[in-house]
Amino acid sequence: MKEVMFNKDDIIERIYFITKLVQNQKGITMQGALTSKSDSMGGIFDRFINTLSDSLVFDKIILPEIKTEKKVSVINDYYYYKPTQKIAGIAPDIFGINVDGKQIPFTKFNNKWEPVDGMPQIEIKTFKAKDQMISLRNQGYDNEYLVFVDLNLRIDYLVPFLDSNILNKEIAQKMQMDDSIFIVDDRDSNISKVTPIDYSSDNIGTLKLISVTNATDFMQQATLCEGNISVRRMKEIKVRKVNIVSNLLHDKLSLYANKSPRVNKLYEFNELWKDKTGVGNNVAILDFSADKIDKIEICKYNSNGIVITTLEQGCSFNEMPLEVGKQYSISFETLDRSGNNGSEYFMQKQCAVYLDGIENKLIDELENIINL
């Protein structure tokens, strides 16, 4: 997977756009599209900051693959509107491209957003590095390009945009507490003081291209959850600090899994697994990847997961290499969709590398447009 760094200058327009979006709320909070959560400025930034990937993944990863002497960049969507089928329609994430200063649109607004004939329609789905699951609700994405991106932001990603002349070190000095009054004893160093804000880095984070696929293909290869069907995913896999040595089981993982009918290199948990772990019919379990699955054993079952080990080198589970002699705790988590009537497609994020990739097809199509 291709990964690049980006800095303050790369996203300053997007920061401006979101800041004005906050002000457009005219003093009230912003309601979430799918939840009852209502956000103020911080929440709105966290919700919309993912949109910075729309241009960055193309300008920094995809477009540089195109062989051309022309200056090419993507056209960002800097309009404000309600992206629903009933109101403005659903616009693609890439509005078009600039080629030597000439704007070539991929979509136009005719009371609703409509695709331009012969131009690619591109949807970008961005996930934060800590996310373990990717999902898609079909909003008319059939046959569109689907670009999956991993975004890893530094936790203080807005600091480079703060005014260091206002939030300066003199303020930190004014905030120093008098230890002689308030601290009797702090032998374990539980108390710390305010120190000056660190403005030394303009780096914001990294962006990783997971996969470029076709939306229709993704929906055929992912796990479909109809309304009121919950979804169970792998939450975490980590090496145990101390191996379990007593009452070890030797259950073969392969006993509880079949080859996935959707993706060749993936496996799906079978009915034996559901019976063993008590997963009901109202819960769908996501497919997983494994190398040498017949050499992976389950040592123990926990209330929310399992402990596994491997019998020989070369084994892996969801892209994590497994070492002989070590035990690994795998925890699972269920996303409750019992009150959700809509259909949605899900996949474990680590498994997206096995989707039918069409990055070269997208590059060829863009190259043809650029060279017209």
**22 and 43 part of one domain:** yes
Contact predicate 217/138, CB 8 Å: no
Determine the 3-state secondary structure of 208 from DSSP.
Answer: strand
**312 and 254 part of one domain:** yes
**212 and 263 part of one domain:** no
Least confident of 31-45, 87-101, 187-201: 31-45
- Local confidence band at 96 (pLDDT 50, 70, 90 cut-offs): very high
Contact predicate 358/252, CB 8 Å: no
Contact predicate 345/136, CB 8 Å: yes
**269 and 131 part of one domain:** no
- Local confidence band at 199 (pLDDT 50, 70, 90 cut-offs): very high
**146 and 15 part of one domain:** yes
**123 and 269 part of one domain:** no
**212 and 242 part of one domain:** no
Q: What is the structure's pLDDT at 29?
A: 74
Nearest to 234 by CA among 131, 148, 117, 342: 131
In a domain, 340, yes or no: no
* Average pLDDT over the chain, rounded to an integer: 93
**209 and 232 part of one domain:** no
What distance in Å separates the CA atoms of residue 344 and residue 308, rounded to the nearest whole number?
Answer: 30
In a domain, 91, yes or no: yes
In a domain, 174, yes or no: no
- Local confidence band at 247 (pLDDT 50, 70, 90 cut-offs): confident
pLDDT at 281 over 60: yes
**210 and 237 part of one domain:** no
**113 and 242 part of one domain:** no
**C-alpha 156, offset from chain centre:** 18
In a domain, 169, yes or no: no
Per residue in 47-71, pLDDT (tens digit) is 899 999 999 999 999 999 998 999 9
**100 and 31 part of one domain:** yes
Q: What is the structure's pLDDT at 31?
A: 65
In a domain, 297, yes or no: yes
In a domain, 14, yes or no: yes
Per residue in 202-224, pLDDT (tens digit) is 999 999 999 999 999 999 999 99
Residue 41's contacts (CB-CB under 8 Å, 6 or more residues apart) are: 22
In a domain, 88, yes or no: yes
pLDDT at 138 over 90: no
Q: What is the structure's pLDDT at 166?
A: 96
State the residue range of the domain holding 83.
2-158+202-222+355-370
Q: What is the structure's pLDDT at 37?
A: 63
Residues 132-142, mean pLDDT to the nearest whole number: 87
pLDDT at 1 over 80: no
Domains contained in the chain, number: 2
In a domain, 359, yes or no: yes
Per residue in 21-38, pLDDT (tens digit) is 999 988 777 765 545 567
Contact predicate 97/75, CB 8 Å: yes
From first CA to last CA, the distance across the chain in angstroms is: 30
Residue 270's contacts (CB-CB under 8 Å, 6 or more residues apart) are: 256, 257, 258
Least confident of 126-130, 307-311, 361-365: 126-130
Largest CA distance in the chain: 76
**233 and 322 part of one domain:** yes
pTM, full prediction: 0.88
b/e string for 103-140 if b means 16 or more Cβ within 10 A? ebebbeeeeebebeeebbbbbbbbbeeeebbbbbeeee
Q: What is the structure's pLDDT at 158?
A: 96
Q: Who has greater pLDDT, 339 or 208?
A: 208
